[in-house]
Amino acid sequence: MSKKFNLRRFAADNVVVIIFLVLTAAATPVSGLSAGYIIQEIVTRIGRNSFLVFSLILPVMAGMGLNFGMVLGAMAGEIGLIFAVDWNIIGVPGLIFANLVGLPIAVFLGWICGEVLNRARGREMVTGFILGFFMDGLYQFVVLYLMGGVIPMRSAAITLSRGYGIRNTLNLDSVRQSLDRLLEIRIAGVAVPAATLGIIGALCLFIVWFRKTKLGQDMRAIGQDQVVSNSAGIPVERTRIVAIVISTVLAMVGQIIFLQNMGNMATYNAHRQTGFFAVAAILVGGASVTKATIPNVFVGVVLLHLMYIVMPRAGAELFGSAQIGEYFRDAFSYGAIALALVLHAWRKQRGVEIARAGLRGSAAEGVGVKEAAL
Amino acid sequence: MRSAREFVADFGWPRIIIFFFLIGLFIAAPFVGVRIDTSISDVLNRFGQNAILVLALVPMVQSGCGLNFGLPVGIIAGLLGGTLAMQFGLTGWLGFAGALAISMPFAILFGWLYGSLLNRVKGDEMTIAMYVGFSIVTFFSILWLLLPYTNPSMVWGYAGQGLRTTITLDGYWAHVLNDTLALRVGESFKLPTGMILFVFLCAFIVYLFFRSKTGTAITAVGSNPDFARAGGVSVNKMRTISVVVSTMLGAAGILVYQQSYGFIQLYQGPLYMAFPAVAALLIGGASVNKASMANVLVGTLLFQGILTMTPSVINSVLKTDMSEVIRIVLSNGMILYALTRKTKVSK
């Protein structure tokens, strides 16, 4: 890779980051929120959200784009939590139980997702997005009609009065913030959920280690070029499925961490925004469809959530309407995703000249050839 | 025998299942106390209401831009037309025509910008279109609050500014197409003749458009861009035209939808409107890169038929409201099926 190429790529990647930096930098003083409050919120939200965002890294590495199918994992986590609450397992054991219940479901859903995405090469993102909608329907069917009826539920408190189906809001008091409070350190008045951050740190180490394993290297190779990987003896389809399965499992764990922090769960809506927030965060952090790193996750979570904290207040101060601030942040989050995707696709289209500079571009050039070969 | 099997393979099992499912619903309806004439009337009404939004997807499918998940771009243009016409106090036919006329320049402008964007991201249109749609809907949510509309029947009563979430069209142009030449049979059957005719008129215009020189060029670009370029067709220009036409139809489609529904839905209302339209087109037999007028009409009728019939029939049978689940699984399952289907290359 030549130096010039790198520089241009760096600048283009960071357009989204820069826009968000400027935006939040302008909105933060206007909002009039205290620094202490903002820092506390940010620390809480890093603990709450980063695990979910990390689940996106592996599929990006394997060249499958942003895994909108991660909501499948979120649903698996929610089913796990429903059982943990139903069995009334309290505290961290409850979370572990939820993970154990969610794990086989997440693996199964991840496998389905991988199989589906293998049939939709070149449009994995839009397919994953629709797959999330589709599974949302099945999730509703299972949770609203089967649970309490076909699937026995022990607790009457969480089922609807008609005898089957789970209530709209699930109270997670039994596991509420059990992980965050397990090891809470106070630094200058800011409560730091050390146990949660420790788990996130362990996940970072796992990802760093995983990249160096045979499987991780295979994924990176596939991300560069499926045809070459295939002729080098890498089982392309299987590896892609493994990437999605791991991603789905991570999303399941991430959703459980997210919900234990929130303390209650909107049974039928909790996963709807999960994919949007995770994808927006990683893109705002400077990731692209083909490259996502650990710093991208942290930068993105901090920037996106800083905006989500300050915008409604800034809107209220500037226009006298918090609603405008809320629409504003939504518009900018959607806009950030669109912009990041556009910039990436744009670069891909200019792949011929980029191809000269490195391997990455050849992925864009040879789409047709690749499909013919596989 | 062979031709039957080929037909099934070509048409696809999901569509055949959906077709027989709908027939089954209609057969079951009288036994559970659902009136057939009311049902048919509802289906036709919703067919007319949604058909032009489905039709709006065709040009972009034909030009190789894929399924237009960015349909809200056109819808927003239509909303601008509708709200401005109300603001100017236009009512009745004049109101509807005025809304159409006002929305078209916006649709052309938005469509041109949107098309120029999509030309730079060939191969990734669908994901980007989806997020362009989401972005424009949320961005206009801000504008609906800030734009200086003053008509008291549109703005929030207490603040005197900012448009309401839903604006009633009563006294403006509610049902203006539906009631034209409407055919009443008995108590509960009403054929919205005017609206159905308008749908057929639009479909016929699009049909003619695709028979014209430009239309043929668009289809050529969609089938094989390289071949089209070699034949002296400007690929980008044709794609832009298809996006502009699609956006214009989207604007007209939402206006027809609103006059039948009786309300203008603003803010987050149009956010997910593209998905049912896409599902309807695919149920009608279209694929990601090929769609015809028959696909539009058949698909809208089938899809709206199922949406109308499942709540009444299934609920009476199962004594529970499963229609939402059926709707989600069916429409998204259909989109998934189309996205994962190996596209046939017959060259």
pLDDT tens by residue, B33-64:
778 888 888 889 999 999 999 999 999 999 98
Contact B322 A127 (CB under 8 A): no
pLDDT at A373: 40
Q: Give the ranges where chain B is alpha helix by DSSP (H).
A: 2-11, 13-28, 36-55, 58-62, 72-87, 92-119, 125-146, 193-211, 213-223, 225-230, 235-261, 274-283, 293-318, 323-340
pLDDT at A367: 46
Of A120, A136, A141, the CB nearest to B339: A120
The nearest CA of chain A is from the CA of B65 a distance in Å of 13
User: In this predicted model, what pLDDT tens digit does every residue of B143-177 receive, in sequence order?
Assistant: 988 888 888 888 887 777 788 888 888 888 888 88
pLDDT at A364: 47
pLDDT at A153: 82
The ranges of chain A with pLDDT < 50 are 1-2, 352-353, 356, 360-374
CA B143 from centre of chain? 24
| Residue to test with chain A: of B332, B334, B343, B344, most A Cβ within 10 A | B332
Encoding tokens for residue A162?
A: 């008609």
Encoding tokens for residue B236?
A: 């980008």
B102 has pLDDT over 90: yes
The nearest CA of chain B is from the CA of A340 a distance in Å of 9
Q: Least CA distance to B324: which residue of chain A?
A: A137
ipTM: 0.85
pLDDT at A358: 59
Residues of A in contact with B328 (CB under 8 A): 133-134, 136-137, 140
Handedness of CA A290, A241, A274, A44 (dihedral sign): negative
**Chain B interface includes A134 (CB < 8 A):** yes
Q: Least CA distance to A115: which residue of chain B?
A: B340
pLDDT at A359: 52
Give the DSSP per-residue string, B252-293: HHHHHHHHHHSEEE-TTTTTTTHHHHHHHHHHTT-BTTB--H
- CA–CA distance, A348 with B122 (Å, rounded to integer): 9
B223 has pLDDT over 70: yes
Task: Describe the crossing of helices B13-28 and B323-340 by its angle, rounded to 10 degrees.
Answer: 160
Residues of B in contact with A340 (CB under 8 A): none
Of A144, A334, A345, the CB nearest to B123: A345
Contact B325 A122 (CB under 8 A): no
The rounded percent of chain B whose pLDDT value lies above 70 is: 97
A3-373: CATH architecture: Orthogonal Bundle (1.10)
pLDDT at A256: 93
Q: For tokens 């002729």, what's the residue?
A: A231
pLDDT at B334: 85
**Chain B interface includes A126 (CB < 8 A):** yes
Of A116, A133, A324, the CB nearest to B142: A324
Q: For tokens 């809304």, what's the residue?
A: B99
| Residue to test with chain B: of A308, A334, A371, most B Cβ within 10 A | A334
Residues of B in contact with A366 (CB under 8 A): none
pLDDT at B346: 38
B320 has pLDDT over 50: yes
Contact B44, B196 (CB under 8 A): yes
pLDDT at A2: 47
Taking all residues of chain B, what is their mean pLDDT, rounded to a whole number?
86
B331 has pLDDT over 80: yes
Where does the pLDDT of residue B191 fall: very low under 50, low under 70, confident under 90, or very high at 90 and above? confident
User: In this predicted model, what pLDDT tens digit does every residue of B226-269 receive, in sequence order?
Assistant: 888 888 888 889 999 999 999 999 999 999 999 898 899 988 88
B271 has pLDDT over 60: yes
B10 has pLDDT over 50: yes
Lowest mean pLDDT among A182-196, B88-102, B285-299, B314-328: B314-328
Burial (CB count within 10 angstroms: exposed 0-12, middle 13-18, buried 19+), residue A354:
buried
Give the DSSP per-residue string, B303-343: HHHHHHHHHHHHHHHHSS--HHHHHHHHHHHHHHHHHHSPP
Listed by start position, the domains of chain A span 3-373
Q: What 3-state DSSP class applies to A17?
A: helix
| Residue to test with chain A: of B125, B155, B340, most A Cβ within 10 A | B340
| Residue to test with chain A: of B61, B73, B142, B337, most A Cβ within 10 A | B142
Encoding tokens for residue A17?
A: 């980051």
Residues of B in contact with A314 (CB under 8 A): none
Which has the closest alpha carbon to B151: B160, B140, B141?
B160
Q: Least CA distance to A268: which residue of chain B?
A: B325
Residues 258..277 of B with a Cβ closer than 8 Å to A: which? 267, 275
Where does the pLDDT of residue B99 fall: very low under 50, low under 70, confident under 90, or very high at 90 and above? very high
Between the CA of residue B206 and those of B21, B62, B102, B203, B296, what are the distances in Å?
30, 12, 21, 5, 11
pLDDT at A365: 47
Residues 303..322 of A with a Cβ closer than 8 Å to B: which? 319, 321
Between the CA of residue B142 and those of A118, A234, B147, what are the distances in Å?
39, 50, 9
Contact B88, B98 (CB under 8 A): yes
